[in-house]
């Protein structure tokens, strides 16, 4: 499993927002410049984060973006899943492409892959945004 470049950028954007003072907002252009992320990519990621409910946006001349919740309540897992979708170390443990060895049984790898997948999810869930700041 590899976190995508988009997800890496999203984490960096969230760290930037977590470092703002309470009530402060920052515009997309400033985030793009500070984190050296292409502007169009920054806007795309911000849109996903707003739609997910992790951040809020304020329109207007003094507008910008901020976290919706305290950084200690936002997990790395929540950010990763907004951008990259559910964690799945292989197709055996993920969604519609789930292991289909037989209708009633799973392949010999399934249980260990589920265990590995669960460990990764638990670790990502245990890391909060404030620890990354």
HSE toward the beta carbon, residue 67, CA cutoff 13 A? 23
* Higher per-residue confidence, 23 vs 101: 23
CA torsion angle 69 48 46 6 (round to 10): 110
pLDDT in tens, 47-56: 999 999 999 9
| Predicted model pTM | 0.88
The CATH architecture that domain 5-132 belongs to is Orthogonal Bundle (1.10)
């Amino acid at each position: 499993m590899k976190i995508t470049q988009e997800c890496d950028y999203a984490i960096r954007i969230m760290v930037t927002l977590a470092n703002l003072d309470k009530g402060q907002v920052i515009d997309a252009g400033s985030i793009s410049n500070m984190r050296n992320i292409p502007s169009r990519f920054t806007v795309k990621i911000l849109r996903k984060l707003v739609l997910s409910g992790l951040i809020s946006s304020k329109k207007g001349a003094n507008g910008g973006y901020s976290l919706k919740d305290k950084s200690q309540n936002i997990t790395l897992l929540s950010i990763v899943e907004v951008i990259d979708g559910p964690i799945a170390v292989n197709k055996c443990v993920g969604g519609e492409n789930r292991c289909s060895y037989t209708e009633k049984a799973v392949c010999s790898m399934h249980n260990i892959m589920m265990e590995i997948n669960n460990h990764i999810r638990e670790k990502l869930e245990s890391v909060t945004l404030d620890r990354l700041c």
